[in-house]
Structure 1
Amino acid sequence: MYRKGDSLDDFILFDRIWTRVWQQQGFELEFTRRDADCYLILSDDGEAAGTVEFKRYDPGRHPIDALAPFSEHPALGPGKAVEVDKVALLPEYRGRNLDKLISLIVHYCENRGRTHIVALMEPKLCKALRMAFRIKLERIAEPFHYKGGMVVPVVCDVSRLYLNKPAYGWLLPNPERPEIVLPAVGS
């Protein structure tokens, strides 16, 4: 489903995937922060299909606050959110792996007690999340041109998803928090 990058080979593969996708979409490239958590999305056959980068978000002290008023959002207190960046799926894996990518974001937040994400999202991805996955994204400012393409500054309450898993049938099981099914009484 996905794995955290923890070796030089993983980081090289991570950088190769997101840079290829971003260049295809016309975005400028930026360095990957090594204090970020880098994940690879894995296809059903185990191939690296995409990437997601998670960065600690500290309201008022994070570089993203200079681009949009994230720090003014009332739900984004210290330790409540993470920035999601370098979201990329290789063209040949798009569509059928988006549920893995979104599940990773939900699991990451659930496992670390984070309730929200902040992000600068590509407009087509925002639409796909809203339409196909019924995910509510709160736009906190108007879309703007950034690093070669349009982005939408959004906040998402991911706790809504992990606290209401049955409502999101596409949400994959959390490998770090397996569901415990107890036998029925009298079995």
Structure 2
Amino acid sequence: MKKIHWDEGLSIGDPGLDGEHRQLISLLNRLIDLIDEAPDAEQVHRILDELEQLATAHSRHEEMLSATAGEDFKEEQRREHSDFLSAIIEARSQLRSDDLGGSLIDVTESLVKLLINHIIDQDLDLAPLLAEREVKNHSLAEFLVLKFQKLSFVRGLEMLVVISLLPMLIFAGMIMYQSWQEA
């Protein structure tokens, strides 16, 4: 079975979540490594334990970050997290001691499919929500620049000129108003 390689196209823009995805993939790759070796049931169960702990923490983290999403999105996300955790728990019962290598292949393929589908179908939809939240944490000028970047390049340049001229115009207006009062 081939290993999973992280691609930046799977990145959702949150370093914490992307790091957790990389760790989940790394744990699945460790299971794939065991397939090629003579797998030991104890090693497999240790990796599944780590996978379950990380998936639980990741689910909480992701659900916390998606608090501003719509109910349908949050419900779908909860369902996918629950399915992945259930698959990890079921994996223990699906491992057969008489054919540990063969059953490990089936279990690992199932877990890989669930994780990759979750990242592609659900988490990439979370990226715009995180970007909006990120914008709210920045200054007004950064907010405007990010909004204008969504416009065409020429329109964006025009807006950047307006943004840079706006403080100068306000300052000139204040000077003119003060001079008018003194006159």
**TM > 0.5 between the two?**
no
TM-score, structure 2 length as denominator?
0.26
TM-score, structure 1 length as denominator?
0.26
Higher helix proportion:
2
Using CA pairs below 8 Å that are at least 6 residues apart, which structure has the higher relative contact order? Answer: 2
Which is greater in Rg?
2
Higher strand proportion:
1
